[in-house]
Amino acid sequence: MFLTLLSLLVAEPAQTPHRFVFLGAGRFAQYADMASLQPEGSGGRIRVFQVVEPEFTAGGAAYWGGWSWWRFDCDAGGKVDRLDFASVREGGAEGPATPDDAPAYEAVQGGDAFEILVAACNPDDQDTDAVTLEAAVAHGRMNLAEGG
């Protein structure tokens, strides 16, 4: 029995739960996944999920939104750099990531990038709004319907 339990533990990779923090809603609802935060020096990397409105389709497929990795620097004038984008179909299937080659830029207060920077640079000050992708989509769509 012990070997059976051990084999189940080894066979099932541990999944890190998400820790989604709502950043705001405009055209999309944005969520920083604090569980993905990778500190590096005075900044780091974090993954952000962008929720689209219900019934959003492209090429005949329905989508929940998309993921992007962002690099940020809390000290260097608040610079951010979106590294890629990967669409997420309804149900959670993630498409391939497309690199974003635009240069890093200063996050301006009031913009989406600034909200990412604030959350990423102050992770302990953030309340968790969702712990699954499905819950983040539901929360985001609620905020989109309410206008943010």
Query: Per residue of the chain (148 residues), what is the pLDDT tens digit?
Result: 433 433 334 444 445 689 999 999 999 999 999 999 999 999 999 999 999 999 999 999 999 999 999 999 999 678 999 999 999 999 999 999 999 999 999 999 999 999 999 999 999 999 999 999 999 999 999 999 998 6
At 3, which amino acid appears? L
Instruction: Give the integer Cα–Cα distance in Å for 4 and 106.
Output: 53
* pLDDT the model gives residue 1: 43
- Cα angle vertex 36, ends 33, 38, to 5°? 130
Total residue count of the chain as it appears in this document? 148
Q: Which of helix, strand or coil describes residue 147?
A: coil
* pLDDT the model gives residue 135: 97
Q: Are the beta carbons of 130 and 139 closer than 8 angstroms?
A: yes
Q: Are the beta carbons of 69 and 85 closer than 8 angstroms?
A: no
Interstrand relation of 57-58 and 61-73 (parallel, antiparallel or unpaired):
antiparallel
> In sequence order, what are the beta bridge partners of 147?
none
* pLDDT the model gives residue 147: 84
Among 38, 33, 8, which Cα is nearest to 22's?
33
Instruction: Give the integer Cα–Cα distance in Å for 147 and 4.
Output: 51
* pLDDT the model gives residue 77: 77
Q: Are the beta carbons of 36 and 145 closer than 8 angstroms?
A: no
* pLDDT the model gives residue 19: 97
**What is the C-alpha R_g of the chain?**
17
* pLDDT the model gives residue 3: 39
